[in-house]
Structure 1
């Protein structure tokens, strides 16, 4: 398996999706602003989205892929693997229908549980939030089915279709926002825009499912609805999924915890966190999802075939590549976050003060960016060995620490403290996962890799120093005309890339040998 090739495929398409997502949030800031309808929409959108990432992309994919891979290429070809997938589908559909139905009925109570004091006190806005959440919630069912198809495609090393699917969501949301912007200003227009957004979310889920169904058929998988049967294989999947909810979904569970604490913070806090998280999700989604998705199928096959050396090499390469890409991104966003939010978010209903507040949250979120990506790289080392219990224990400790830190930091720092608490908890989880892998003899950093990581840290620090000096020079340009805003941010990005990659090459971190190692299919 060529790690660079597969990560480039997934990361490149994910990058396109994230760019559309960033454009979506720029429009959202200008049309809905912060607070009011914007807060109601963010909460309504996050509920199905967090469930999707937690159960579908997190737990389900992590448990399904190793079991599916054991059956790929057997004596019956892929027929046994496809039979297993259809057995899973037969059980999954009624579960999704039942969960979605109960959620729609209980939505007022669920919204009341997470709504801020300001949102709960405004009856019209609260009712709008409930309506938006109910309209958008079918997205969870569609995307859970789509995740099954994506897992099948990824297991067969067909990464492009699944990586491209999220682009559909952002295109639908952008279309809804453009339609909302044409309605004009005022609360009535904002309310209608919120309903447009909710409809577009569910529609995008259906379109993504159909997109992946088409490509799965081209790979030979024919989706068949059968009477649900709890076969031994499906039972094994269920036993893996339950602990994997914690092990693979710690980031999303922390988002639920954040919602609880956000409910006690002032108006606009949930919007500030959501807008800041978009910047954090750019590198997290592109790098973290790409690496985690790319290595799990191959790692499962290497371990199943007792190729321990190849498994070690693959995980080592993934850790090095993760830090090579996330450390400079985290440093750059920490230093330039406020400049970026001022340049891209300020305008329309989103004030300069809103942008500055969002930039402060960005700085606290990206403290944990490398850790979140490393967790996605390290947890496949457990899931590929069908060990879902260990990540549960580390995640439970991390989440407990997150709650304690929230209790300490949120009263003092507000939404910034909430973001920082999640980052520190993520580093704790990452450290525990690595220590246990090393203790069990599955993976550890060699001296050569550790020395390269140290040089990545030095190059990132030097880049951060240069950006720290450059940021104040463009203060007036960040809120100027469109050309001035684009030029100022492009200048910062270009300067950061020149400094970091120049030093990385000078330090020998990026060279032909490193790239060749990452591109190798066999050791």
Structure 2
């Protein structure tokens, strides 16, 4: 892929993912206006955990990310029809696995929810019962996503990004329908038009999730037809490409499983705190996901097929240059975003959600805890894909396991002392350390780094010794140049300007206006500090 094409892809994804996040925020605003930081909404949010985990494990985050490099290699060597035969085998296997585990979860829903090591041990009996009901409904959407999520990967392997990028927007529209029509007990009015309402409560929200999943699948069907997709009713275990994919899948599934365990640990800890902690974490993570998606996910999604082509063709220099540029963009764009949003967003959140002062404060401090790790999350989106482009899944697995261990240890110390912000701060620390660890490994020669990690004594001596700090310093210098210094100074200066403007006593100027104006001015001030990164984006 030419650099200009990669830039166009990144801009397309930025635009579509931006619309996706805006519709997601609109969806959450509608839900928040109805339910607030309530126990009912805590129940709905926790009920999504296991169905989401099943989808991400089997097709969404596990198989699709592994599928793209292998399918790209097959397209280059054997053509598109061979690649679609590989896709059919993977999709058939994913659907059968999803069906099997969905049935198990549906049968065992009550003990899964109520157990002390389950997903909501601190809830009341009625809340636990509702969680089990909603979980079973969400499993229907999971079955749809088991195919739809893989279709996204298959189309991206064919370097088609538009329909996969539109699919999440349709998913949000389905959920908005559930929030506007199915859930409310009192109707919404749009001008003089009265919307119908079915009064289904949180069960209406779950029905909206199912509708959104159907739309997510249907929007991608025309693209499949355009790229001459032919379904084959087989699981070709004898095929070398299928076997290769399954070999990579084992570590990848474990990696995603550990990530999902992190979310379960998060909600397990939050369920032991005051009412609203689970939802504050959910909303805080949602707002953090806006810049992470527009920076890290956009860059990672755009470069994965290109990195896979470079590896398949043996173009190592182009591969490393693309990764370095993506990492510099992650740092340059995320530092300023984190500081500016952490300072300027509070009045907008209070206005949008109609929360009281205490609820807004809890949400903002939780969000700030997440934003401290924004750069780490964005880097991880790129670094993980750099490993998977090489069809290497073991090292990301090791990094994710270390993340989980750190999350449990740090979270257990902080959650009672700092409430929900302690859990979001734990998230930032653990994910940032994981991204730094994997970046250091990525700079090692491919033929030596796995042997080095497998030599456990050497590995742990490196972790504990001075050489680890030196390696991190050298990796940062090689990968980022002076991006970290410039972006850090620019973020602090622009954040200070935003804070001073919002704290000023300008007559007749509403706090919302000061918030918007302050963040806009801060962005303008920040841009000169990251001009080299902006030039990289132009010629990516």
Q: How far off its partner does 1:116 sit?
A: 4.3
Residues 337, 363 of structure 1: 8 Å contact kept: no
Following superposition of structure 1 onto structure 2, how do residues 152-171 of structure 1 map, counting pairs within 5 Å? 152-171=154-173
Structure 1 residue runs without a partner (length 5+) = 479-483, 519-523
- Checking the alignment, whether the CA contact within 8 Å between 1:337 and 1:362 is kept in structure 2 is no
2: CA distance, partners of 1:4 / 1:446: 25
CA contact (8 A) 1:246 1:391 kept: no
Quickly say closer, same or farther: Cα 1:192–1:497, change in 2 above 3 A: same
| Cα separation, 2, equivalents of 1:421 and 1:190 | 40
1:193-235: CA deviation from partner (whole Å, max 9, x where unpaired): 21111111112112211222221121111234x1444334333
Q: Please name the residue that 1:481 is paired with.
A: none
User: 2:26 matched to 1:23?
Assistant: yes
Call closer, same or farther: CA 1:109–1:458 in 2, change over 3 Å: same
- Identify the residue that residue 294 of structure 1 maps to in structure 2: 302
Matches of 2:300 and 2:47, distance apart in 1:
28
Structure 1 residues 263 and 315: CA distance shift in structure 2, 3 A: same
| Residue 417 (1) aligns with residue 422 (2) | yes
Structure 1 residue 52 corresponds to structure 2 residue 83: no
Within a 5 Å distance, the mapping from 1:430-445 to structure 2 comes to 430-440=435-445
SS of residue paired to 2:273: coil
- Is the deviation greater in 230-239 or in 209-218? 230-239
Matched, 1:201 2:206: no
**CA pair 24-489 structure 1, distance change in 2 beyond 3 A:** farther
Asked if structure 2 preserves the Cα contact closer than 8 Å seen for 1:334 and 1:364, the reply is no
Shift of 1:477: 9.9
- Aligned equivalent of 1:262, options 267, 270, 277: 270
Of 403, 407, 415 in structure 1, the residue corresponding to residue 412 of structure 2 is 407
Cα-to-partner distance string for 1:278-326 (whole Å, 9 max, x where unaligned): 1111111222221121111111110111101110111111111112221
For structure 2, which runs of at least 5 residues remain unmatched after alignment?
A: 188-196, 448-473
2:520 is equivalent to residue 491 of structure 1 = no
- Counterparts of 2:491 and 2:301, CA distance in 1: 26
Kindly indicate whether the alpha-carbon contact (under 8 Å) linking 2:255 and 2:400 is maintained by their aligned counterparts in 1.
yes
Q: 1:122 to 1:69 in 2, by over 3 A?
A: same
- In structure 2, how many angstroms separate the alpha carbons of the residues matched to 1:74 and 1:212? 25
Distance 2:285 2:175 in 1: 17
Q: Is the 8 A contact 1:40 1:128 kept in 2?
A: yes
Paired residue for 1:277, among 285, 296, 303? 285
**Residues 10 and 253 of structure 1: CA distance in aligned 2, closer, same or farther (over 3 Å):** farther
**In the alignment, what sits opposite 1:381?**
386
Alpha carbons of structure 1 residues 46 and 493: separation in structure 2 relative to 1, 3 Å: farther
Between the aligned partners of 2:506 and 2:207, the Cα distance in structure 1 is 39
- Cα RMSD of the aligned pairs, angstroms, is 2.6
Match of 1:67 among 62, 70, 75: 70
254-263 or 412-421: which moved more?
254-263
CA distance 1:474–1:206, shift in 2 (3 Å): farther
What is the Cα deviation at residue 515 of structure 1? 4.2
Aligned to 2:349: 341
* Contact 1:59 1:242 (8 Å CA) reproduced: no
Partner of 1:219: 227
Structure 2 residue corresponding to 1:451, chosen from 482, 492, 497 = 482
In structure 1, distance between residues paired with 2:513 and 2:42: 31
Does 1:362 find its partner at 2:388? no
Which structure exhibits the higher relative contact order, with contacts defined as CA atoms closer than 8 Å and separated by 6 or more residues?
1
Aligned mates of 1:431, 1:304 — CA distance in 2: 26
Change (3 A) 1:327 1:387: same
Q: Is the 8 A contact 2:120 2:128 kept in 1?
A: no
Partner of 1:79: 81
Higher mean Cα deviation, 50-59 or 86-95? 50-59
Distance 1:115 1:126 in 2: 10
CA–CA distance in 2 between the matches of 1:23 and 1:249?
30
Q: Distance in 1 between matches of 2:10 and 2:204?
A: 34
454-463 or 267-276, larger mean C-alpha shift: 454-463
Aligned to 1:439, what secondary structure does the other structure show?
coil
- 1:87-134 per-residue CA deviation (whole Å, 9 max, x = no partner) reads 212222211211111111122222224454663x242x3322222221
1-structure distance, mates of 2:168, 2:207? 16
Aligned residue pairs, count: 499
Hey, what does 1:145 align to over in structure 2? 147
CA distance in 1, matches of 2:132, 2:25: 25
Q: Judge conservation of contact 2:72–2:309 (CA < 8 Å) in 1.
A: yes
Contact 1:402 1:421 in 2 (8 A): yes
Quote how far apart the aligned CAs of 1:35 are. Answer: 2.1
Q: What secondary structure sits across from 1:222 in the alignment?
A: coil
Aligned partners of 2:75 and 2:82 also within 8 Å: yes
Alignment partner, residue 527 of structure 2:
501
Where do 1:120-131 residues align within 5 Å?
121-123=124-126, 125-131=127-133
Give the 3-state SS of the residue equivalent to 1:192 in structure 2. Answer: coil
Tell me how far apart the structure 1 counterparts of residues 138 and 283 of structure 2 sit (CA, whole Å).
Answer: 19
Report if aligned partners of 2:54, 2:98 keep a CA contact under 8 Å in 1.
no
Q: For 1:364 and 1:165, how far apart are their aligned partners in 2?
A: 30
CA deviation vs aligned residue, 1:141-171 (integer Å, no higher than 9, x gap): 2112112111111111111111111111211
Aligned-pair CA distance for 1:9? 1.1
Instruction: State the secondary structure of the residue aligned to 1:40.
Output: helix
In structure 2, relative to structure 1, the CA distance for the partners of 1:41 and 1:310 (3 Å cut) is same
Q: How far apart are 1:180 and its partner, in Å?
A: 5.1
102-111 vs 146-155, which moves further: 102-111
Q: Contact 2:329 / 2:533 at 8 angstroms: preserved in 1?
A: no
Asked if structure 2 preserves the Cα contact closer than 8 Å seen for 1:162 and 1:212, the reply is yes
Preserved contact between residue 248 and residue 379 of structure 1 (Cα < 8 Å): no
Say if 1:118 and 1:382 are closer, same or farther in 2 by CA, change over 3 A.
Answer: closer
